[in-house]
Amino acid sequence: MKAHFLARLLIVSGFLLLAFTTFLALQSEVQAQGGEDGRGMSMPDRLAPPPMPDNPTQADFGRYDFYLYCMTCHGDRGQGLTEEWRSAWAPGDRNCWQSKCHAANHPPEGFQLPYFIPYVVGKGALARFATADDLFQYVRREMPWHWPGMYDDDIYWKLTAFLAHENGLYTGDAEIGPENAMNIVLWPGRESNTKTAPEEVAATPPNKETLTQVGMGFTLWLLLILIGILAGVFALVRINARKT
């Protein structure tokens, strides 16, 4: 009788635990998808220009410039030159590196494209840039990759504002420019002026803290639930034992 009761209780609590963890897992998955702004993989017209609001901010202008000058390489969501992004193009345009395109034998007016083009929007993006000024200096000095510095500073500031806002690294209203960029911290703790070598940055992924925090929170929850269930089982067994 008692053994029966215990077994049933264990099975029921096991199921509850399973259901709860499944629920948590599903929830975090939904959140992860929502983190992409809910924009699905198969947006019908991903190559169309972004809509411009009535009173565009500096970042809105930057979004448009990004569309014009950077999107081909860095993706419509700043995801980088991923396979998924290339699949948004017409079939004939998807292999950027085919012979006579952006391969070593590119046409004289063209250029050879690197195989890896990093993401510039997303978790941990731009983590090598301490301040908005660092980001601006880098983008102006190095981008667009095939013709660095080809645009006016004004455009590079808009692009800087767009990237900073889009990544949630800057939420202020003030436009970013030479007078304030050095004081706009994007990634605290980074060494300013892009002196940080890329290797160093790679050794300390910026999201590590948040990831372990999430992991900790989850295990803590599980532990608490387990302890609760065990305590419940004990209590019930005690009560049952007293009754018989």
Contacts with ligand HEC by CB under 6 A lie at: 69-70, 72-74, 113-114, 117-118, 120, 126, 128, 139, 143-146, 159
User: 106, 119, 113: which is closest to 76 by C-alpha?
Assistant: 119
φ, ψ for residue 185 (rounded to 5)? -85, 125
Calpha distance 215→195 (Å, rounded): 32
User: 95, 62, 66, 64: which is closest to 78 by C-alpha?
Assistant: 66
Which C-beta is closer to ligand HEC: that of 114 or that of 215? 114
DSSP state of 185: B
φ, ψ for residue 40 (rounded to 5)? -75, 175
Which C-beta is closer to ligand HEC: that of 143 or that of 184? 143
Shortest reach from residue 58's CB to ligand HEC, in Å:
14
Which C-beta is closer to ligand HEC: that of 8 or that of 146? 146
Shortest reach from residue 41's CB to ligand HEC, in Å:
22
With DSSP H G I counted as helix, E B as strand and the rest as coil, what are the percentages for the chain, rounded to 5?
50, 0, 50
Which C-beta is closer to ligand HEC: that of 150 or that of 230? 150
Shortest reach from residue 100's CB to ligand HEC, in Å:
17
Shortest reach from residue 39's CB to ligand HEC, in Å:
20
Shortest reach from residue 237's CB to ligand HEC, in Å:
58
Which C-beta is closer to ligand HEC: that of 146 or that of 238? 146
Are 110 and 96 in contact, with CB atoms under 8 Å apart? no
Which C-beta is closer to ligand HEC: that of 59 or that of 126? 126
Q: For residues 230, 235, 237 and 243, what is the CA-based torsion angle, rounded to 10 degrees?
A: -170
Give strand pairing partners of 12.
none
Shortest reach from residue 57's CB to ligand HEC, in Å:
17
